[in-house]
Chain A
Amino acid sequence: MSLRNPLAKAHNHGSAGEGVGHWWALRFTAILLVLLTVWLIYAMASLIGADHATAVAWIGRPFNAAMAILFVVTSIYHGELGLQVVIEDYIHTRATEITLMVLIKIASIVGGLLAVIAILKMAFGV
């Protein structure tokens, strides 16, 4: 007989209450990033040495703009999850830990928004 309640089981919750969501999110974004790195290398090969107009036109193509947004958002999310693990492991002062995590979350959201808007601006040729 399982001692875990059926709702927790259905939600995949472990004994910590919040389940394995963080673990899965880190792995899922990792697999996605392995695939996106293939595009990233293609991007670097296309953009190194390119002048401004060429680079804007390249990133503005629908496929490249979509991959760029996917890459930036997935990377930042994966980085946030990874940095969280590092902070939880090495920062033993609760106040510093929480402050760092809040700063990283704010930086991730602001950085991600700036990048996505910059890419969309070039994709729509505004």
Chain B
Amino acid sequence: MATDNRPLSPHLQVYRPQLTTVLSISHRATGIVLSLGMAVVVVWLLALSSGPEAYDRFIGLLASIPGLVFLLVWTFSLFFHLFNGIRHLLWDAGWLLDLRGAYASGWTVVVLSILLTIAIWGGLA
């Protein structure tokens, strides 16, 4: 019996995206990006411990256009997941659970993650 193509309810596409729902799914998306980023961290450590040639080759890869795009997405994901994660921990403690708290903390997360990403990349440039 096929159980994997039954219609599911509620259908996501009938809902208008809201800050709270977009941030909720973004927390998962950035978490997946950071998990992939851990693979890059492991390869970075392996290259570093292998010697100067391997390390320079790896750094060259990171400095390529796809490498830089990945690093940019990774930086934003790191800050977003960090701040939104703190927001989730505050919720778990019972704080900010009203509508106002959820929206105010949500916008704070968005602004802080964008500002810190710009600050880091601006500082490098």
What residues of chain A have their CB less than 8 Å away from a CB belonging to chain B?
27, 30-31, 33-34, 37, 48, 51-53, 55-56, 59, 68, 72, 75-76, 79, 82-83, 86, 92-93, 107, 111, 114-115, 118-119, 121-122
Contacts and interface: CB of A to CB of B under 8 A. Distances in A.
A82 B35 CA distance: 9
Interface of A is mostly: helix
Given A34-B86, A82-B31, A92-B3, A114 B38 contact: no
Contact of A115 (B35, B45, B82): B45
Interface size class of B (residues with CB under 8 A): 20 to 34
A31 B34 CA distance: 16
Given A76-B38, A86-B32, A118 B89 contact: no
Contacts of B82: 33-34, 37
Given A79-B35, A115-B42, A118-B45, A55 B85 contact: no
